[in-house]
Amino acid sequence: MGQPDLPDPHTVPSHGPGFSPEAPPDQAPTPRHRWGLWSYVGVEVLFLAVSFALGWLVVGSDGPSALGVILGLSVPTLLAAGTALLITRWRGNGPRIDLGLHWTARDVGIGLLFGFGGLILSIPAALVFVAVVGEDNATTAVGQAFDGIVVGWPVALLVFVLVAFVAPACEEIVYRGLLWGAVTKHGANRWVAFAVTTVLFAVAHLELTRTPLLLVVALPIGLARVFTGRLPASIVAHQVNNLVPALGLALALTGGVPLAG
């Protein structure tokens, strides 16, 4: 007879206080992590401080350069996500356990499902949003930063990779990872975490006009996290959501199409 199946040590419960995975019965329960909301606040403050510092350093008298915008787009985001990962190691059980940062084919599949479902939801929502607020008010902060800059395909490809793949992964580590774990630490369920992270994700972009649209965009991304209990699904969903705007931005930077929201 085969051995009985044991629970996956990296499976996050669908209810209860949050991130601590179920341990096999012959092992001690995973200790609860010791980081909370102040860790998330610290990461946000770090992100904003580095963003403003870089903005002040790289914007010259002639306006921002492509290199300056790329640094401003990548460095604060990478630093924030890296700090969040270090916090989980320093004050917790590491990102694999505390954030559910454990990749499986199922998580990727669910992420793709919610990502493409989100596109079906967000594209018409974006069209309605542009019709309501006007095209000039619908441009993203990233689009505004690159406005008037023309680059070659290698740089445009780098921007595409940053916007479509790197930035979503980093943002998910901070919001559906660190913040999610901080909210669920004291007993809040996954739906409370979903609501809090969705709202703060939209507000933290500091694009007041686009906040309602960002809320719509965040819904399927957060649901991917809810229904898997792990971070990779929301990372994939977020990356799928960013594919279309990243491609449009890359084409605009080469002069192929006008830069739009």
Residues 6+ away with beta carbon under 8 Å from 170: 77, 78, 80, 81
Q: Report CA Rg, the chain.
A: 19
pTM: 0.83
- The answer to whether 162 and 74 are in contact (CB under 8 A) is yes
Q: Give the pLDDT confidence of 183-231 residue by residue, as tens digits.
A: 998 788 999 999 999 999 999 988 888 888 899 999 999 999 999 999 9
Query: In this model, does residue 153 exceed pLDDT 60?
Result: yes
CA gap 37, 49 in Å, rounded: 18
pLDDT confidence tier of residue 255, bands split at 50, 70 and 90 = confident
Q: What percent of the chain has pLDDT over 70?
A: 83
pLDDT in tens, 36-71: 999 999 999 999 999 989 888 776 556 677 888 889
As a 3-state breakdown, the chain gives helix, strand, coil percent values, each rounded to 5, of 70, 0, 30
- The separation between the first and the last C-alpha atoms of the chain, rounded to the nearest angstrom, is 60
pLDDT of 8 > 80? The answer is no
Q: Is 189 left (phi over 0), alpha (psi -120 to 50) or beta?
A: beta
pLDDT of 126:
80
Reported as a single tens digit per residue, the pLDDT across 116-150 is 999 888 888 888 877 877 776 666 777 777 777 78
DSSP state letters, 99-119: S-----HHHHHHHHHHHHHHH
pLDDT band at 23 (very low <50, low <70, confident <90, very high): very low
Query: What is the model's pLDDT at position 16?
Result: 41
In 3D space, the residue among 211, 82, 80, 195 whose CA is nearest the CA of residue 141 turns out to be 211
C-alpha 130/C-alpha 19 separation (Å) is 39
Measured CA angle at 197 (ends 194, 199), to 5 deg: 105
Q: Is the pLDDT of residue 17 over 80?
A: no
- pLDDT band for 259, please (50, 70, 90 cuts): low
